[in-house]
Amino acid sequence: KVKNTKYRLNYHMMPPVGWMNDPNGFVQYNGEYHLFYQHNPYAAQWGPMHWGHAKSRDLVNWEHLPVALAPSEYYDNGTIDDHGCFSGSAIEKDSELYLLYTGHSIERNPMQVQCIAKSRDGIDFIKENQNPVIDHFPKDGSKDFRDPKVWEYDNQYYMVVGSNKDGKGKALFYQSSNLIEWEYRGVVAESNGKQGDMWECPDLFPLEEEHALIFSPMYGEKNEKPIIIFGEMDYKKAKFSQGKSMLLDYGHDFYAPQTLIDEKGRRIMIGWMDMWFSKRPSEEDDWAGAMTIPRELTYNQNGKFVQKPIEELKTLRKNHHQMEGFDIDGVQRLPDLDGSATELCIDFDIANSDSSVFGLQLRCSKDRSEKTMIKVDTINEEIIVDLTSAGKGESGIHKAPYRSNTNGKLNLRLFLDTTSLEVFVNHGEQVITNRIYPHASSNEVDLFAEGGKIKVLNVDKWSLRSVWK
């Protein structure tokens, strides 16, 4: 049990106790969503990696299940995962659930190999006798060879694995007819020189007419913001044509996202709502790490790629407040908007306003010495999340570009939880995710406008209930 619940979130996935990093094995199996995650059950710090496990019917209410994978297995050919079951994915075959993960060893050379564990009930997993199913990195890779993501296409199984060579991050591509025997097909995509020297957690999937590749790049020892690249996948040539790319999230606390396709045909992504360099005040209470809210990856009516909070999140809503058509000039507290676990949806009319910097102050203390600011800078077309006075956590300033809609309007949809803030700009065109650690009593909300007035068209606000007991 955790020592103190003060930093626990209301409606985000988090470990019951101990450490959590990447989402793993995100899949729908027998109608239920399963989410595994990199987990150290014994401490609030990273350690020998287990796969923690939870399931859900709606991706909102979660039930914790027993740890699915633990390190330290010995085989005839030596140890494979003594130092951890690293990140990977899940897929169903002949009604069994297969987990594909990286066995990490400090005794074996090479240190990272790909392994399988199977289950008939989705709860108890047995590691495959034939592990490792890929026992060595290929010529195009290196000892950093991890995070297999598997999918099925045209009666074949495919896998991308993250690696690097010659200073470039790479996605290595494999094919199989049975999930056990894998043929190496080549480098399916690699860094263009500016996208990192190591790719962690690659995920390649169809998205409407195209394919998309997401990965979490490293630059030297440093992990950086996950990237999405759009392009066409040629399975025959084993090549992904790398077209346009963008950051999936402009905040500090977003890493190692993974997607699934569900029975409704939705491509849903969830990410680790922290990263290696995050501050984690909750460690003193024996836990650390959380997941973002699930986001549906899709295109809007203008053909723009968007990340939409999944519909099911609406079931968390209670106590609706609405305000329509008013101007803000200076700073104004709006008492109806207060709260620490809330959803706020605001439409601004930029075209008919004269303020060039406006926005919100959230999680404010009475004296305003503590506050989390969201500023819209209409001259530079940037949304800025300013954490300088946000409390105990990270204190950086995070900027995302935006374009006001053709009609000069801007929509901000904010998901606040006790220790997090996820900002969706223009219905998911950009997202900015951060953990924040203000005092529980810092709950007031202001709207502000500098150098003139801002026209607020509409505000909807809900309190969001807790899904944890």
Binding residues for ligand FRU, per CB under 6 A? 21-22, 38, 49, 86-87, 102, 146-147, 200-201, 255-256
User: Could you give the CA distance from residue 224 to residue 41 in angstroms, rounded to a whole number?
Assistant: 26
As a whole number of angstroms, the distance between CA 318 and CA 307 comes to 24
Nearest distance from C-beta of residue 45 to ligand FRU, angstroms: 12
Provide the residue count of the chain. Answer: 469
Q: What is the distance between the alpha carbons of residues 276 and 417, in angstroms, rounded to a whole number?
A: 21
- Distance between CA 370 and CA 53 in Å, rounded? 36
Residue 357 near residue 377, CB atoms below 8 Å: yes
Separation of alpha carbons 420 and 426, rounded Å:
20
Q: In whole angstroms, how close is the CB of 341 to ligand FRU at the nearest point?
A: 27
Place of tokens 């287990």: 50
Sign (positive or negative) of CA dihedral 78, 84, 88, 90? positive
Q: CB nearer to ligand FRU: give 145 or 448.
A: 145
- Evaluate whether 174 touches 187 at the Cβ level (below 8 Å): no
Cross-strand bridge partners of residue 114: 102, 134
Q: Which is nearer to ligand FRU, 49 or 293 (CB)?
A: 49
What minimum distance in Å lies between the beta carbon of 306 and ligand FRU? 25
- Strand 342-349 vs strand 397-401: parallel, antiparallel, or unpaired? unpaired
Which of 22, 81, 144, 253 is the catalytic position? 22
CA–CA distance, 413 with 360 (Å, rounded to integer): 12
Q: How far apart are CA 455 and CA 173, in angstroms?
A: 51
For residue 218, the minimal CB distance to ligand FRU (Å) is: 8
User: Is 182:173 a contact under the CB 8 Å cutoff?
Assistant: no
Least separation in angstroms between CB 305 and ligand FRU: 24
Nearest-10 Cα torsion for 317, 320, 323, 324: 70
Cβ–Cβ < 8 Å for 263, 28: yes
**Closest approach of Cβ 262 to ligand FRU, in Å?**
24
| DSSP-assigned beta bridge partners for residue 349 | 409, 455
Report the nearest approach of ligand FRU to the CB of residue 275 (Å): 8
C-alpha to C-alpha distance for 432 and 424, rounded to whole angstroms: 7
Q: What tokens does 205 get?
A: 């999937």
**Separation CA 12–CA 10 (nearest Å):** 6
* Closer residue to ligand FRU, CB minimum distance, 148 or 339: 148
Are the CB atoms for 62 and 53 separated by under 8 Å?
no
Q: State the number of CA atoms in the 13 A half-sphere of 71 facing the CB.
A: 24
Cis preceding-peptide flag for 132 (omega within 30 of 0): yes
CB of 390 to ligand FRU, least distance (A): 24
| Look-up of token digits 């026992």 | 135
49 or 69, CB closer to ligand FRU?
49
In angstroms, rounded to a whole number, what is the distance separating the alpha carbons of residues 219 and 77? 34
Whether 22 is catalytic = yes
- Annotated catalytic sites, by residue? 22
